Amino acid sequence: MAERRSESGSSPQPGRMSRRKFLGVTGGAGAGLLLAACRSDVTPEPGADPGVDSPAPVTEPVTIRWIDAMAGPRAYNESVFAEFMDLHPNVTIEYTLVPVAELAPSVQAFLASDDPPDVFAVPNLEAAMQMINQGVVQPLDPYVTDEWKQSFPPATFVEGAMMFGGQTYSYPHSGTRQCEGLLWYNADVFEQSDLDPDRGPETWDELREMSRAIVQAGGGQAFGMVLQGGLPVSVGHLAAVLATSSGGAFGPIGGGRSTIGGINWHTGEYAHSSDRYVDAVEFLRSLDVDDLLLPGWASLSPQDGMQRLAQGNAGMFSWGSYVVGQLRGGDFPEFPLRFSPPPTADGTRHHLNTDVALPRLMFHADSQHPEVVGELIMFRSSPEYFRGYVQEVQVQPSPMPEIDQAADVSDQFKAAANFFNEWIRFQPLAAGKNPSVTDAVLEMRPVEPNFHQIVTAAVSGQITDVRSALNELDGKLTEERERAIEAVQAQGIEVSVDDWVFPNWDPAQDYDDSFYAEL
Amino acid sequence: MPAAGLPGAAPKPDSERVSIERGPPQEIIKGARFWTLLFLMPALGLYGLLVLYPIASGVFGSFTDWSGFGRARSFIGLDNYRLLLQDPLFWSAFRNSFYFMFANVPARLVFALFLAVLLTSTTLRGRTFFRTAIFIPVVTTTAIVGVLMTFVLNPFNGPVNLALLRFGPLERPIDFLGNPDTAMPTIVAVSIWKWTGITLIYWLAALQSVPQSLQEAALVDGANKWQQFRHVIAPLILPFAVVIFLISMINMLQVFDLVQTMTGGGPFFTTEVIEVFIYRHGFTAVQGLPRLGYASAAAVAFGIMVMGLSAVYGIVLRRTNERRRELAS
């Protein structure tokens, strides 16, 4: 992995052609490419000129297997795949969605089989790194066009994230500039509690007071807020968002994996125990102590939490933009959902920081029809696709902000998307500074309990001294990173703790190529 | 010369000799063995494929660093075991597994025995109905039971809390599964409800093995019901108790689906048993990469401990069987 940084093209202009016309154009191009592929019964080696040494034609139908793990877009993706199959009658797409919680064992199972899918979702960045190292997946570059790559915004294809060794291994399936930890509320519950239904809490104190008003008016049937402790990462994200929005905290809100997150990028040190993080956790704990949280929150899933919000048993709920699409698509009672930016400690808002686009859908190295897969990937990630994805699904924003802004979506989804664009910035990536960091990250073993588990336990009262617990976490992570770096250095790979230091980082700006160049 | 039949006596004439039937010829014995083995081969093959091979694969995997994402794995010797022994969450899961087992099995044994004795009473009407009703939870899917119980025990409008608040002394609901003090006892209670039926069946079979004549003799001697049980029935069913305990112990040490669906090992690992620990490390990617090698090491280590326990109980079983034979003779 020698290449350091990639280049990215300019931002695309919103498409003006109709969906059908666009599909016809891309379909025609795709048909041409497919015809070229069908002239060969031997898949060209990656990087080879497909026009050289044209072999005999393929006469049998092509089946592409695509496995993803995301809630929400099943029907939309099925319709898009159906359109592709209409354009290419000899192509059959087998599309499978697995529950997110079952993605890891599913990937283990089908990679152990002799019939892996062509395209599949990977659970996280570490999994992608390992698969690339082991040659399980192959780069997209021979099978996608430069125009397609340039249709994405700058900082999309970043070395150490979507690109490794200068080659592209994945692409965005949704917008990266997003976070969990948003605040959603039920306007009816607010109104019944004599609160302004058009205004959410702007500060932590306001959140507490509004919760108290909801409890007092609720008669035991309504509580201020519901958390989803059954998914500790959600509670951890909320604490991180509250902390980072209030300034003084450095850490990821997108990833949060203990092996690569929670870092003060100015010093390279783990910073989970910084004051604002502790303050945020203690604030959430105080809500539980004051009985302002829905009882039993510690074992609720996000779907349970949304159900409680919809039924009016909780006035407020925290999660990502998924809430809009999931409430629309699921079996929930109708209610006036409202979005509110995460409250800050004192009313002063600071930018949130997240990872750049990380790999999710990857291309198996043994795929028998890479050209078709390449065409399908481009088809399923065009601006038209994302426009439809945003409008019809409303679960996550698209990678192209102008599409989100022009899309015909609910006011609440648009408000969340606008918040993302205004307040979320990309943080540095250590592998972007030194690609060999990947080896050190893969060498690191998980540290438990992790940040999210500690936060959830602290909010529920099982951990009484959260500062000590987070201090201990930072200490263990530091120790583990040092061990991993030493192990990797012993193999002759040049990595050091300095690779995690970015003295020129400005949390209010995207850390892009220009900042890397200054180092 | 000694009399006939004594050592040193004269041999009997041929007409008085008893002809001794010799066994079948060696060829027939070999033939029988061949066909026996032939018919055993499918079962042995399946046993090897579905039991021995996974065990061997797991043992081998415990010496590797492997995520399961791809076939490549690196041999790391005893590193997984070294890390395991230093992992406080492994020992926590170990303790939780044995806590769950010891809280569950003795209580279930006693309760099921009590029910079995009641159900063998000839004066009790509706025995078949009660036997069926107690057994129905056994045939339900454990994972479904776990999910349902999260609703039943929910502190917000769950029926148990509603009943306790309305008719009981509670002023605020109990978060049965979210409170570290109540989560494990709650799972134990649900498990006892779920599995009492099968233990009941074991006990009913054991009670049927007690000779009726002994109980009648005790009755004739003036023994009451308790004395009959204490001095006649209990000693004779003791070997069954050991077997039932062993079977139940091994089953409860392998609990997974009930814990995973009710609490997922939470809150904060307080209900995480070994099987959940293994699953979390081997098949989830919450903390980066799954660690199949580490999970295998945990499985092997725990398996060795359970085998050790089984060996101890084997000794106890042998001794109780000897005692039963003494009592019955």
pLDDT tens, position by position, B35-90: 999 999 999 999 999 999 999 999 999 999 999 988 778 999 999 999 999 999 99
Of the candidate ranges A238-252, A454-468, B83-97, B161-175, the one whose mean pLDDT is the lowest: A238-252
pLDDT at B286 over 80: no
Average pLDDT over every residue of A167-179: 90
What pLDDT, on the 0 to 100 scale, is given for residue A20? 43
Average pLDDT over every residue of A75-85: 93
pLDDT in tens, A298-350: 989 898 999 999 999 999 999 999 888 888 877 888 899 999 999 999 999 99
Report residue B2's pLDDT band, with 50, 70 and 90 as the boundaries: low
Percentage of chain B exceeding pLDDT 90: 56
What pLDDT, on the 0 to 100 scale, is given for residue A28? 41
pLDDT at A221 over 70: yes
Q: How far is CA A433 from CA A256, A257, A477, in A?
A: 20, 19, 20
CA A480, A486, A492, A494 torsion-angle sign? positive
Q: What is the pTM of this model?
A: 0.84
Percentage of chain B exceeding pLDDT 70: 91
Average pLDDT over every residue of A282-300: 94
Q: Which H, E and C letters describe A502-518, residue by residue? A: CCCCCCCCCCCHHHHHH
- First vs last C-alpha separation in chain B: 40
Report residue A146's pLDDT band, with 50, 70 and 90 as the boundaries: very high
pLDDT in tens, B105-142: 999 999 999 999 999 887 778 888 988 999 999 999 99
pLDDT in tens, B187-201: 999 999 999 999 999
Q: What is the mean pLDDT of chain A?
A: 84
Q: Does A112 touch chain B (CB under 8 A)?
A: yes
Cβ distance A296 to B263 less than 8 Å, yes or no, reads no
What pLDDT, on the 0 to 100 scale, is given for residue B204? 92
pLDDT at A18 over 70: no
What pLDDT, on the 0 to 100 scale, is given for residue A370? 92
Average pLDDT over every residue of A397-406: 88
pLDDT at B102 over 60: yes
What pLDDT, on the 0 to 100 scale, is given for residue A36? 40
Of the candidate ranges A1-10, A67-76, B198-207, the one whose mean pLDDT is the lowest: A1-10
What pLDDT, on the 0 to 100 scale, is given for residue B19? 58
* Cα of B289 to nearest chain A Cα, Å: 6
How would DSSP label each residue in A142-162?
Answer: GGS-HHHHHTSPTTSS-BTTT
Cβ distance A130 to B67 less than 8 Å, yes or no, reads yes
Q: How many CB atoms lie within 10 A of CB B312?
A: 11
Which element (helix H / strand E) includes A38?
Answer: helix A19-38
pLDDT at A425 over 50: yes
Which element (helix H / strand E) includes A263?
Answer: strand A263-264
- Smallest CA–CA distance from B157 into chain A, residue: A221
For A48, the 3-state DSSP assignment is coil
* Cα of B155 to nearest chain A Cα, Å: 5
Q: Does B211 touch chain A (CB under 8 A)?
A: no
Task: In whole angstroms, give the CA distance from residue B95 to residue B79.
Answer: 22
Helices and strands of chain A, counted as H and E runs: 20, 14
pLDDT in tens, A432-458: 899 999 999 989 998 999 999 999 999
Please provide the size of chain A in residues.
519
Cβ distance B268 to A104 less than 8 Å, yes or no, reads no
User: And the tokens for A161?
Assistant: 């994230």
What pLDDT, on the 0 to 100 scale, is given for residue A71? 61
Report residue A519's pLDDT band, with 50, 70 and 90 as the boundaries: confident
Average pLDDT over every residue of A32-37: 41
Q: Does A456 touch chain B (CB under 8 A)?
A: yes
Task: In whole angstroms, give the CA distance from residue A116 to residue A45.
Answer: 19
What pLDDT, on the 0 to 100 scale, is given for residue A336? 94
Q: What is the mean pLDDT of chain B?
A: 88
Of B68, B71, B156, the CB nearest to A296: B156
Are A347 and A247 spatial neighbours (Cβ–Cβ below 8 Å)? no
Q: Which of A152, A171, A143 is nearest to A374 (CA)?
A: A143
A10 against B244, higher pLDDT: B244
What pLDDT, on the 0 to 100 scale, is given for residue B24? 66
In the stretch 109-148 of chain B, residues with CB closer than 8 A to chain A read none
